Chains A and B, each alone.
Chain A
Amino acid sequence: MAVMTMRDALNLALREELARDPDVFLMGEEVAEYQGAYKVTRGLLEEFGPKRVIDTPITELGFAGLGVGAAMAGLRPIVEFMTFNFSILATDQIINSAAKMLYMSAGQFKIPIVFRGPGGSAYQVSSQHSQALESWYAYFPGLKVVMPSTPADAKGLLKSAIRDDDPVVFIEQERMYGMKGEVPEDKDFTIPLGVADVKREGTDATIVARSLMVPAALKAAEELAKVGVSCEVIDPRTIRPLDIGTIIESVKKTNRVVVAEESHPFCGVGAEISAEINERAFDYLDAPVKRVSGADVPMPYAKNLERLAIPGFEQIVAAVKEVSYI
């Protein structure tokens, strides 16, 4: 076990997988000589050379499509979007090519590609640079969507994503790159996709949180413990395919759920989870499923407004109290 930042855990995962499989290569803007816009790819060019670690022009649609084509021909590309906001330019290739190729070709062409980069909010980077797009991508059958919330999860999940034969949208969070945590050093440490993690056990209320909201949920749980409410915090880790089973087991135990997310509420992952709980665990609910989501507005620039737009542990505490009738 070593203690490292999420940034370094991701870097280590990339390093290990590039070393392990010669068909794996990495491309994106500023990933090589600049050492990565967020330093996640620091040192990789030096170690693996320009054939494996490739700087691209600013040409998202082009290099995303190139990645998918390379995957069709047998390589395992990792395509970095400097932020997922820029992936919007590449959506035709992610959705119409990557997500559908295996299905359209009846299994002949698999696309073992990873699209990775930071998504969601940062600090005062305004509306075009702060979008959480996971529910967009999770919408499409054929894609997998992964969101780590700890350094260990980041490393294990990224390695699995790279080894996975399907296109994976791997959404990191810039605000969490500096987060420190214990990370297993085993080069074969992987975390399977599609398996949720119970980050904290509890009996009175379930909080489902992902990415940036996981630390907030854990803090909320601590605050609630002080007033006698024992919360179970579940991090799905993989959004699609979703480990709804773990969530349902928890709901059966606690009878009440709060879903915390920084994304907008409308058509979000929280809405999907809520619908699934309604379908599978209706008879166990003591209160409706409550969502704590980001404000349904484009992200403003002003510091105070931005803070209002992103939920914190206080809102999660209030939501848990509401569903507990306290």
Chain B
Amino acid sequence: MATQVVMPKLSPTMEEGQLSRWLKKEGDKVSMGEPLAEIDTDKATMEMQALSNGVLRKILIREGESAPLGQAIAIIGTADEDISALLTSVSGSAKAVPVAASKTEEPAPQATTSHTSVPTGGKPSAFSQDGVRQLISPIAARMAADAGINLRSIQGSGPGGRVVKRDVEAALGAKGAPAKGAPRLRPIAAAPHSPAAVYGPSSFHDEPLSEMRRTIARRLVTSLGPVPHFFLTSEIDMERAADLRASINELYPDTKLSINDIITKVVAAALIQHPQVNASFQDKTVRYYDHADLAIAVATENGLITPIVRSAELKGVLEIAAEVRELATRARSRKLKPEEYTGASFSISNLGMFGIDEFTAVINPPEGAILAIGAMTPKPVAHEGQIAIRQRMRVTMSCDHRVVDGAVGAQFLQTLKQILENPVYLFLSQ
């Protein structure tokens, strides 16, 4: 009796699988327990085993195609029995979703991605790196033109990725045009925000993974474990930041601003400047957040917890300080609500107060990165051609290579360093 081979559930959360590689071909003998195919699930690539003996009579989905759980993907039977009835009943329900398989080379971490997004489920990305048309409604095009906004920077929320009026309105509300000259810092807050917009979870947009990203993901997961980390270190001159802290504490003695509060503020600004780092990995898409929701690592006697300062780029440093303190207090007394410690866009961990010079932190999935901050210590350094003693701090950023490439992460750190070394940049934006 011929039997159908159906897409098996290979992970608790799997809903559909992509046929990565057939290990047998039509006509091959199979026995129970033998591996039949490799299947990409939402978590990893798994082997699928044959559940019956016989000959692989018919393969129903090709390598690269996906199928939902339970859908027939092959037929095993004796070598010569008639399987036409089974084939007919199977073809009526087949819904294999073909994905254009592209065999790209192993990519080295590059600064630019030059491939267009491959649609899954038929929705093209609004972003067109080359050739794919961006859809935009007439009124949205006009509004963007009038406001001088680059349409390529707007993600469309309409059908097929169409940029529509509300997308341009949102872009107009959140961001202004970048200032001319070096560090292109965005204005922190152009329009007044309602409390809900500022303190609720950040709005975001999802982008389907490009073909290259998918390949990177597939390969790196098998070499470095679930999240492919890489690490970037930078030493930052903190003289001016330290001065700034001192000045603020003079003006507002009750605040007791910490250097971490300043770092938090600057990280937020740098993230808005580098939206590709303010992101998380969502299996089939990368989620880019519109606001910097920063998780601040807090050590409690029960373990590490990460309360979140939402939309940190919109808040002043004093507000951040107060909020962090309040959150930390409640964290320690176990009074934080789940939405206050889940769903950040980026994390900061500071072990400087323990005298740690530098360390590598582990990324909180699904976030794309985490910044580990070491102690600020005076050190002798070359400064304007002379040896000087200056406050220095080493930061290490751990990045998820599926979300952030080396150059991207490095540019973010570069901006972070620039602002911390010259906080006056924060004042140059609108």
Chain A residues within 8 Å of B, Cβ to Cβ: 255, 282-287, 325
- For this complex, into which size category does the number of interface residues on chain B fall? 10 to 19
Residue of B140, B164, B166 most packed against chain A (CB within 10 A): B164
What's the nearest-Cβ distance from chain A to residue B137, in Å? 5
Residues from chain B with a CB closer than 8 A to the CB of A283 are 138-139, 142
Q: State the CA gap A283–B140 with chains docked (Å).
A: 9
Residues from chain A with a CB closer than 8 A to the CB of B137 are 255, 285-287
Tell me if B98 is interfacial: C-beta within 8 Å of chain A: no
A284 near B166 with CB under 8 A, answer no
Taking A325-B157, A325-B158 as contacts, is the C-beta distance between A286 and B165 under 8 angstroms?
Answer: yes
B49-87 interface bits toward A, Cβ cutoff 8 Å, 1 = contact, 0 = none: 000000000000000000000000000000000000000
B138 near A325 with CB under 8 A, answer no
B139 near A285 with CB under 8 A, answer yes
Residues from chain A with a CB closer than 8 A to the CB of B139 are 255, 283-286
Taking A287-B137, A287-B158 as contacts, is the C-beta distance between A325 and B142 under 8 angstroms?
Answer: no
Q: State the CA gap A60–B200 with chains docked (Å).
A: 70
What's the nearest-Cβ distance from chain A to residue B406, in Å? 37
Residues from chain A with a CB closer than 8 A to the CB of B157 are 325
CB-contacts of B140-159 with A (<8 A):
140, 142, 157-159
What's the nearest-Cβ distance from chain A to residue B336, in Å? 33
What's the nearest-Cβ distance from chain B to residue A246, in Å? 19
Chain B residues within 8 Å of A, Cβ to Cβ: 137-140, 142, 157-159, 164-166
B140 near A286 with CB under 8 A, answer yes
Looking at chain A's contact residues, the main secondary structure is loop
B142 near A255 with CB under 8 A, answer no
User: Lowest 10 A-B CB distances belong to which pairs?
Assistant: A286-B165, A286-B137, A283-B138, A286-B139, A255-B139, A285-B138, A325-B158, A286-B164, A282-B138, A284-B139
Residues from chain A with a CB closer than 8 A to the CB of B140 are 286
Residues from chain A with a CB closer than 8 A to the CB of B159 are 325
Residue of B157, B159, B165, B166 most packed against chain A (CB within 10 A): B165
Number of A-B contacts (CB under 8 A): 26
What's the nearest-Cβ distance from chain B to residue A125, in Å? 39
Residues from chain B with a CB closer than 8 A to the CB of A286 are 137-140, 164-165
What's the nearest-Cβ distance from chain B to residue A256, in Å? 9
- 7 further A-B pairs in the complex, CB-CB below 8 A; given A283-B139, A325-B164: A284-B138, A286-B140, A286-B164, A286-B165, A287-B137, A325-B157, A325-B159
Q: State the CA gap A163–B166 with chains docked (Å).
A: 48
Q: State the CA gap A284–B165 with chains docked (Å).
A: 10
Residues from chain B with a CB closer than 8 A to the CB of A255 are 137, 139, 165
Q: Could you list some 18 contacts between A and B, CB below 8 A? A: A255-B137, A255-B139, A282-B138, A283-B138, A283-B139, A284-B138, A284-B139, A285-B137, A285-B139, A286-B139, A286-B140, A286-B164, A286-B165, A287-B137, A287-B158, A325-B158, A325-B164, A325-B166
Q: State the CA gap A21–B154 with chains docked (Å).
A: 65
What's the nearest-Cβ distance from chain B to residue A318, in Å? 14
Name the residue on B nearest A325 (C-beta): B158
Q: State the CA gap A36–B140 with chains docked (Å).
A: 54
Name the residue on A nearest B166 (C-beta): A325
Q: State the CA gap A255–B165 with chains docked (Å).
A: 9
Q: State the CA gap A317–B157 with chains docked (Å).
A: 20
Name the residue on A nearest B140 (C-beta): A286
Residues from chain A with a CB closer than 8 A to the CB of B138 are 282-286
Name the residue on B nearest A282 (C-beta): B138
Q: State the CA gap A243–B377 with chains docked (Å).
A: 77
What's the nearest-Cβ distance from chain A to residue B63, in Å? 37
Q: State the CA gap A146–B313 with chains docked (Å).
A: 59
What's the nearest-Cβ distance from chain B to residue A203, in Å? 13
Name the residue on A nearest B158 (C-beta): A325
Q: State the CA gap A66–B166 with chains docked (Å).
A: 59
Taking A325-B157, A325-B158 as contacts, is the C-beta distance between A287 and B142 under 8 angstroms?
Answer: no
What's the nearest-Cβ distance from chain A to residue B121, in Å? 18
Q: State the CA gap A285–B164 with chains docked (Å).
A: 9
Q: State the CA gap A44–B140 with chains docked (Å).
A: 57
What's the nearest-Cβ distance from chain B to residue A9, in Å? 40
Q: State the CA gap A20–B233 with chains docked (Å).
A: 95
Residues from chain A with a CB closer than 8 A to the CB of B165 are 255, 286
Q: State the CA gap A266–B158 with chains docked (Å).
A: 27
Q: State the CA gap A55–B165 with chains docked (Å).
A: 59
Q: State the CA gap A283–B143 with chains docked (Å).
A: 10
Residues from chain A with a CB closer than 8 A to the CB of B164 are 286-287, 325
What's the nearest-Cβ distance from chain A to residue B206, in Å? 16
Q: State the CA gap A285–B165 with chains docked (Å).
A: 9
What's the nearest-Cβ distance from chain B to residue A206, in Å? 13
Residue of A284, A286, A287 most packed against chain B (CB within 10 A): A286
Name the residue on B nearest A283 (C-beta): B138
Name the residue on B nearest A278 (C-beta): B138
What's the nearest-Cβ distance from chain B to residue A257, in Å? 12
